[in-house]
Amino acid sequence: MVTPFPWVYQYEEDGPRLGAVVLRPVVSVALVGVEVSNPAYALVDSGSSHVLAAPHLADAIGVEPRSSNRSLVLGMGGDNIRVRFVDIRVRLLAPSGDEDDYIEWEDEVGFVSTWRPTWPVLLGQNAFMKRFTVTMSLHAQALAVEDLEIFDSRFGIQTMRG
């Protein structure tokens, strides 16, 4: 049985950066290809359009991004990096830590050959925030994930579908 929403995840420490610890909105995910990856931290990144992942995760799930003909050059970490996209399944793991408690969907995940971010997965707008209502609070040091439609009822705003 899937735990009902909202799912609340505590921010994780990243750093130090310029002498200070930075808190980041992070959730747990697993990637599913031929195999299922171990749970991995994923940064919820409103500045990214895509799901991006470290190359070791492609190896772990048995997919070969180098054979993909879908690629983009994206700016990442101050460099322009080629990202190769593969259709796989993404599992958002419940904050309980139970690996059998998750929500899964198919998505286009981009893999890069050189990975620099702290977290092995980035969840972007088109992939993650298009499926859920995501609320981030630095004050509470937490991120909440809820059904997409909750935004409509909470704020009385008709959301865009598509």
User: Is 162 inside a domain boundary?
Assistant: no
Alpha carbons 16 and 85: distance in angstroms, whole number? 32
pTM of the model: 0.92
pLDDT tens digits for 92-134?
999 998 889 999 999 999 999 888 888 999 999 988 999 999 9
Q: What phi-psi label fits residue 13: left (phi over 0), alpha (psi between -120 and 50 degrees) or beta? A: beta
Q: Which residues contact 129 (CB under 8 A, 6 or more apart)?
A: 44, 46, 123
User: Is 110 inside a domain boundary?
Assistant: yes
- CATH number of the domain bearing residue 58: 2.40.70.10
User: Is 157 inside a domain boundary?
Assistant: no
If pLDDT is split at 50, 70 and 90, which confidence band does 20 have? confident
Q: Work out the average pLDDT over 10-31.
A: 91
pLDDT at 16: 78
Give the angle 11-14-19 at the CA atoms, nearest 5°. 125
Domain count, the chain: 1
Q: Is the confidence at residue 140, as pLDDT, over 70?
A: yes
Alpha carbons 13 and 42: distance in angstroms, whole number? 13
Alpha carbons 84 and 111: distance in angstroms, whole number? 5
Burial environment of residue 53 by CB neighbours within 10 A (0 to 12, 13 to 18, 19 or more): buried
Q: Is the confidence at residue 158, as pLDDT, over 80?
A: no
If pLDDT is split at 50, 70 and 90, which confidence band does 152 have? confident
Domain ranges, residue 35 = 28-133
User: Is 82 inside a domain boundary?
Assistant: yes
SS3 56: helix
